[in-house]
């Protein structure tokens, strides 16, 4: 009997994280659903996954806080004793022109989006190295490459993931661990919640595929990177943007 693979998805209570957790569960993974504030969303996802016959559990943790991350991984070790896939998805996005950006907001965004990936990966590596297998998948953004006129702090945090992903891919490939990055473009999540239909239509017209992406578009790429079929994909960045990265 084959061993059930396990996955931790950070920030899984809504949006892209929720879609990733659901897709991995559908692919046969046991899922650790990380959340911090949105317990109702996390519980709803847990019910959806377990009602379909898959295994999952909740882990409330602030992934920008080392002690909180260590507590979550203690739960993972106690429940599974292993971790096969880590999806560093958790993050925040706050609009602010640079001249209006204060240092606490800068630090909070960098901590939530980049420190969290460092902390979770640092805890996951001993488990993955012991089993000589692992998949680390970082969720970045097209703004890591393009920049943002109203989010230098967000773009900087997501750009940091590029260096982290590539460096870890070089270091960890010898241990059977791959590290890859997914860079979504415009995805229908709460980040676009304030857009009017007219604005959404205008945005869609600027994308070569002529549509805004869905969280499931990102989840399907993550599912591939988490699979055995992606064993020779390492240090890659996959753009899920409808071709907007070309413009």
CATH of the domain at 216: 3.40.50.720
Domain span at residue 138 reads: 6-246
pLDDT category, 2, cuts 50, 70, 90?
A: low
Counting beta carbons within 10 angstroms of the beta carbon of residue 41, is it exposed (0 to 12), middle (13 to 18) or buried (19 or more)? Answer: middle
Tell me the per-residue pLDDT of 96-141, one tens digit each, with 9 for 90 and over.
Answer: 999 999 999 999 999 999 999 999 999 999 999 999 999 999 999 9
User: Does the residue 117 lie in any domain?
Assistant: yes
Question: Is the Cβ–Cβ distance between 61 and 36 less than 8 Å?
Answer: yes
Q: Which of 35, 93, 154, 232 is catalytic?
A: 154
Active-site annotation holds for 232: no
pLDDT category, 1, cuts 50, 70, 90?
A: very low
Q: Is the dihedral of CA 102, 107, 112, 113 positive or negative?
A: positive
Tell me the per-residue pLDDT of 38-59, one tens digit each, with 9 for 90 and over.
Answer: 999 999 999 999 999 999 999 9
User: Does the residue 1 lie in any domain?
Assistant: no
Tell me the per-residue pLDDT of 76-85, one tens digit each, with 9 for 90 and over.
Answer: 999 999 999 9
User: Does the residue 119 lie in any domain?
Assistant: yes
User: Does the residue 14 lie in any domain?
Assistant: yes
Number of domains observed in the structure of the chain: 1
Which is nearest to 174 in space by CA: 229, 129, 131, 224? 129
User: Does the residue 151 lie in any domain?
Assistant: yes
pTM of the shown model? 0.95
Residue 194 has pLDDT above 80, yes or no: no
């Amino acid at each position: 009997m084959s061993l059930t693979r396990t996955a931790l998805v950070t920030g899984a209570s809504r949006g892209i994280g929720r879609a990733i957790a659901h897709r991995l569960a559908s692919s046969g993974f046991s899922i650790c659903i990380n959340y911090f504030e949105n317990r109702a969303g996390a519980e709803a996802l847990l019910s959806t996954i377990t009602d379909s016959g898959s295994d999952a559990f909740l882990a409330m943790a602030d992934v920008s806080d080392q002690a909180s991350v260590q507590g979550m991984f203690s739960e993972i070790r106690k429940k599974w004793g292993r971790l096969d896939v880590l999806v560093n998805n958790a993050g925040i996005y706050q609009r602010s022109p640079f001249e209006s950006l204060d240092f606490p907001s800068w630090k909070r965004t960098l901590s939530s989006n980049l420190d969290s990936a460092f902390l979770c990966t640092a805890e996951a590596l001993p488990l993955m190295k012991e089993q000589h297998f692992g998949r680390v998948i970082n969720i970045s953004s097209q703004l890591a490459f393009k920049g943002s006129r109203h989010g230098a702090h967000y773009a900087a945090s997501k750009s940091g993931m590029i260096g982290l992903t590539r460096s870890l891919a070089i270091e960890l490939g010898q241990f059977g661990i791959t590290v890859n990055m997914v860079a979504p473009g415009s995805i229908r999540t709460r980040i676009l919640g304030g857009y009017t239909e007219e604005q959404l239509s205008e945005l869609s017209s600027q994308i070569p595929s002529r549509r805004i992406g869905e969280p499931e578009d990102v989840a399907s790429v993550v599912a591939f990177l988490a699979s055995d079929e992606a064993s020779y994909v390492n240090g890659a960045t996959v753009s899920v943007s409808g071709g907007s990265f070309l413009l």
